[in-house]
Structure 1
């Protein structure tokens, strides 16, 4: 458990009866959370918002989304004075309350009134406590975060130290909401079945995706399948490819880019009527570099890669996100990717949808492990 996870666990007993309180309506009785994806309301003192604490919060939640062709904030932040928090505003999907004990403003006193005397005493005595989260506090489908500290300086330090985890909390909430939306309608179950029967893996797709191109080597050791959803606003793409796993060096950034390009040159065409127009990784834009990150994907070692793509004639381009991993059961090195073409338009939410689709991926080994764990 990471440090933020530990603090959230410790905080549960601190606020279990102070923020939500006894007599809280059941989830079924709550109104649905409101607001657009990626929006967030911050409730705090105006002086602190315009100072270093507010700057730290903006640097945390309004940081640029990595790997996009132009600047887009992770969250659109709107500050609201505590005295102006109406019932409607309390129903937003992402809500953050911020307060420090050293602030004596009317706004800070109002926020502190949400806390019990025991809670405030514990904050005074345990400086490591700075965050608590609550689900469905005022609306169904809502995530609420309370950020607090003995002093402003102390809270600023805690937020900076845990910025990635704080962002991750709300990013995961956004992805979960999106997953509940795109996978509950008319899903393309035939695509999932094709993957399972012919490529030893599965992935869920929302309605509108179709197979654009497939390839399998004669002996079956290499495979590729490209799924595409085209509409006037955007062109969303997902592909899955595999080759025999050879060595750990396949996971290096240099080799991943080389592997991606070798696949794209032969299988990803920019224009269906012009197969000679193919896709390449964009590595010449210094302020938007290709980045890689080692992580665990459903219990397996994986490398996540982000960056930009372009066609060889530079007529098209956009962002991509991918994962590379090994299915030990089949000895295959899998590479899965989502990329989008939507020139001149915000692309954060398109990439979030592709991220959710990629998150549904499972190899043969993952499927077997999941089945055994449910028995």
Structure 2
């Protein structure tokens, strides 16, 4: 075999190997954030099972001023369980079968992906499985959508060296945010858009700011005290928690630490601007502080679910570093102004 033939064979083998490796890789999922595909025949979709799915997976998102669905649902008949219908990150497959079954398959058709299979002999048995496993399904979908938003955010991140040093933390903030205010224990990051703006606040206060017997009240009082530095364009306007709606309060975890989560709506005192907020107060006992991360948006002409989801994904990327030394601030925080 001469040298030319050998090189041709080597090149062919290399190309074949590359093409085979590429063919073996799973397809990448596509689709908008917070969208799920429900694979179910029309007969079931238009009946009691479809009603149950819509009530559970398109229920209103808590903490938003107007009703918006938890997930946007795209429904397809079972015979279309191929092609673009299998590109979603979250797929719920429901059908009648000889066996009653609930199953979760990861990356079954594409990656990253969760495919949830529910089958039963009768509609009643399918409804029972759906009722039993809905909390787990919703949790897994929400975690997957947070991870997808964080993946998108990581494409281009805002440099946060000063924030890292100030708060002893790492957080993944997209580069389309900019810092508009900073003081000893406070930072305000903001992203402007055609339809409004979204903001991220980071601040720390002494752990004694809250009392275990009335945490929810203390957190609202705390955020309202900080809100005085988020000013409107008119004189004597500043952010407060909207009093017409009772906020939702939960205990949760961020970075494996006890965290108080509050969701509600804000408004500008003496003005008409308002919108949703989500507030996470992380209990950092090692440094005798509450580390607070809050996202809020102003978007009067646009749905707010996905805007708030982006802020939540940013907040969930937080990681506290060790050896922090926290000094309560003595200086006032001079914020910039909210823009219409």
| TM-score above 0.5, yes or no | yes
Q: Which residue of 1 aligns with 2:3?
A: none
2:255 matches 1:298: yes
TM-superposition CA deviations, 1:237-294 (whole Å, max 9, x none) = 01111111125438621111111101111x21133xx563210111214xxx310011
Which consecutive unaligned segments of at least 5 residues does structure 1 have? 1-24, 103-119, 124-129, 217-222, 368-375
Q: 1:171-320 counterparts in 2 under 5 A?
A: 171-183=142-154, 185-189=155-159, 191=160, 193-216=161-184, 223-246=185-208, 248-249=211-212, 252-265=215-228, 267-271=229-233, 274=234, 276-285=236-245, 289-320=246-277
Match of 1:55 among 51, 55, 59: 51
Q: In structure 2, list runs of 5 or more residues that go unmatched.
A: 1-20, 325-340
CA distance in structure 2 between the aligned counterparts of 1:202 and 1:268, rounded to whole angstroms: 24
Instruction: Give the corresponding residue for 1:359.
Output: 316
Residue by residue, what CA displacement relative to the aligned partner does 1:214-234 show, whole Å, maximum 9, x if unpaired?
222xxxxxx211111112133
How many residues are matched?
303
Question: What's the CA shift for 1:345?
Answer: 0.5
Displacement of 1:346 in angstroms is 1.1
Structure 2 contact 168–322 (Cα < 8 Å) conserved: no
The answer (yes or no) to whether the contact 2:200–2:295 under 8 Å persists in 1 is: yes
Larger Rg: 2
Q: Is the 8 A contact 1:27 1:136 kept in 2?
A: no
Partner of 1:81: 77
For 1:53-132, what aligned pairs fall within 5 Å after superposition? 53-101=49-97, 120=99, 123=100, 130-132=101-103
Residue 136 of structure 1: CA displacement? 2.2
Match of 1:166 in 2: 137
Structure 1: distance between partners of 2:298 and 2:166: 28
Residue 312 of structure 1 deviates from its aligned partner by: 0.6
SS in 2 for 1:334: strand
Q: Distance in 2 between matches of 1:270 and 1:356?
A: 26
SS at match of 2:232: strand
2:188–2:201 Cα contact (<8 Å) kept: yes
- Aligned mates of 2:166, 2:323 — CA distance in 1: 16
Give me the TM-score of the superposition, normalised by structure 2: 0.82
SS across alignment from 1:349: helix
SS in 1 for 2:61: coil
What is the TM-score of this pair, normalised by structure 1? 0.75
Counterpart-to-counterpart distance in 1, 2:137 and 2:25: 29
For the aligned residue pairs, the C-alpha RMSD in angstroms reads 2.3
